Structure 1
């Protein structure tokens, strides 16, 4: 009997992609999401309700019978670490034997990116359970570069000349799908990156070349970055996460380039140019 793999966030960008890849492999799946009615109808998949990370008993019930879990990190929230640790504890209580967690590149207790600190604390809790695990430290997504430009065609923030090894969502999902079915990677913390590290100025130039519309990178100071985002009236922790994603790049903390994608999937990771050419919807807002 083949192992049952549970996938959280199965309606989202990572979980949805992984679910489809595993279904294509003939894997038996439990799919979980905050809104079960939106789950995809995939061969070999069982739609399971009760996927709120903060609801430990419900999540434990939903995960019962699963052998391996893909724990896709929750949306940014003030209590995000608590949600993650509750979900991990629920999985262990349900008898899940392996957990693959999507973390972030450079996660550390004192990393510049505040949300990266949340990931580090989650990693420590996961390791302390004693359950076999794989941590996937994903770099910033390639889709984030055109998204940051916005309709105005300007990327602005305090990233300086720092570099970031942006990675395509499809590559992240492909790595996750492989490690979920192959326990040879257990105990590893893997950096999942694109094949090159670029500056935002270079990213803006690439977008300009591909779209034919001028896209610029405008450098801000940290104070200017907080001020220019004040109109969103977002919670303080969220704005800090936005701004420190740039300052982490300026500090050189997201410039790591790994061979994880090619080594595990057997094909090269996509460059930003390759990603954009394959995903014109990612920059469609720049053409309006």
Structure 2
């Protein structure tokens, strides 16, 4: 039986992956920073962080397949990712399934997509077998884009985004982890079934929540000014704004058939993603 390690199990996607694996009776372990937040699934829990090389290496000993959730947004994100890859190599992990991003590359408009591209390069050069799950933006985050006033603000214009449900990403990840040999050295674009403008997304949010939502198309200058009160560093503001400019520039408009092909069912729509029980 394949021994699987799951990072990010205290988060939404990692937690759903862990649940799928537990239900499948897989031999899996959860790698978390805070064991008190780990889901109670009857799986062993190992405490470690991405920047804790020795503890991470110990947790990865004997692991065949690793579910590697990309690290939290930070200035040190690439150092943390490099630490994970190096620990996986040293521990003899056979296969890494990494949550990447659609269009991940050094020139990605979405600035955090550049970190994903660099991490993909690390994995390609590592000698490990890999699978990249290139996720579009998560459908479940769009209510948070709107804020309390129900307005989505950003320089996205008439651009479209084929947002994917976190549930679909987790289901695909579990399928790949349970049969890693069938997915070695492959990249999958994980999207929803349709590409919507932010104005259309606002309409769906209105229908689902019963509260009015709308989209306000900001200029770049307006986008920076409206986020200035957070006091965030420049790199983070750039990431926030580029969320919208990547949509504006058409980099998230393509609809992939990878989710239905891998799961044998249609990808969840935005409305389904927002109303499905958690």
TM bucket by the smaller chain?
Answer: over 0.9
Q: Equivalent residue for 1:213?
A: 211
SS of the residue corresponding to residue 51 of structure 2 reads coil
Aligned-partner Cα distance in 2 for 1:151–1:38? 27
Displacement of 1:5 in angstroms is: 0.1
Moved more, 269-278 or 103-112: 269-278
Q: Deviations over 1:2-50 (max 9, x none)?
A: 111000011111110000000100001110111122212213x211112
- For residues 72-91 of structure 1, the aligned pairs below 5 Å read 72-91=69-88
Say yes or no: does 1:230 pair with 2:228: yes
**Which of 78, 89, 93 is matched with 1:92 structurally?**
89
What residue in structure 2 maps to residue 258 of structure 1? 256
The yes-or-no answer on 1:275 pairing with 2:273 is yes
After superposition, residues 14-93 of structure 1 pair within 5 angstroms as 14-43=13-42, 45-50=43-48, 52-93=49-90
Structure-1 separation of matches of 2:191 and 2:95: 23
Q: CA deviation at 1:242?
A: 0.5
In the comparison of the two structures, how many residue pairs are matched? Answer: 277
Of the candidates 120, 125, 143, which is equivalent to residue 122 of structure 2? 125
Which residue is 1:142 aligned to? 139
Specify the SS of the correspondent of 1:143.
helix
Question: What is the CA RMSD across the aligned residues, in angstroms?
Answer: 1.1
1:196 aligns with 2:198: no
SS at match of 1:229: helix
Instruction: Tell me the equivalent position of 1:174.
Output: 171
State the distance in 2 between where 1:218 and 1:152 align. 12
Residue aligned with 2:25, SS: coil
Distance, in Å, in 1 between the alignment partners of 2:81 and 2:209 is 39
The Cα shift of 1:235 comes to: 1.6
Asked if structure 2 preserves the Cα contact closer than 8 Å seen for 1:11 and 1:40, the reply is yes
Distance 1:192 1:33 in 2: 25
Q: How does 1:149-160 map to 2 (within 5 A)?
A: 149-160=146-157
Write the distance in 2 (CA, Å) between the matches of 1:133 and 1:222: 37
Which whole-Å deviations, capped at 9, do the CAs of 1:247-288 have from their partners, x for residues lacking one?
A: 000000011211111111111101112222325x8xxxxxxx
Contact map agreement 1:85 1:126 (CA 8 A) in 2: no
Q: Deviations over 1:68-115 (max 9, x none)?
A: 100000000111111111101101111111100000111111011100
**Which position in structure 2 is the counterpart of 1:244?**
242
* Residues 134-190 of structure 1: CA deviation (Å, up to 9, x unaligned): 000000000121111111010000001000001111000000000111121111011
Quote the Cα distance in structure 2 between the aligned partners of 1:209 and 1:18.
Answer: 29
Give 1:210 shift.
Answer: 2.5
Task: Give the drift of 1:209.
Answer: 2.2
2 CA distance for matches of 1:205 and 1:19? 33
Structure 1 runs (4+) deviating above 4 angstroms are none
Distance 1:155 1:22 in 2: 36
SS at match of 1:249: helix
SS of residue paired to 1:41: coil
Equivalent pair of 1:97/1:131 in contact (CA under 8 Å): yes
Counterpart CA distance in 2 for 1:104 and 1:34 is: 24
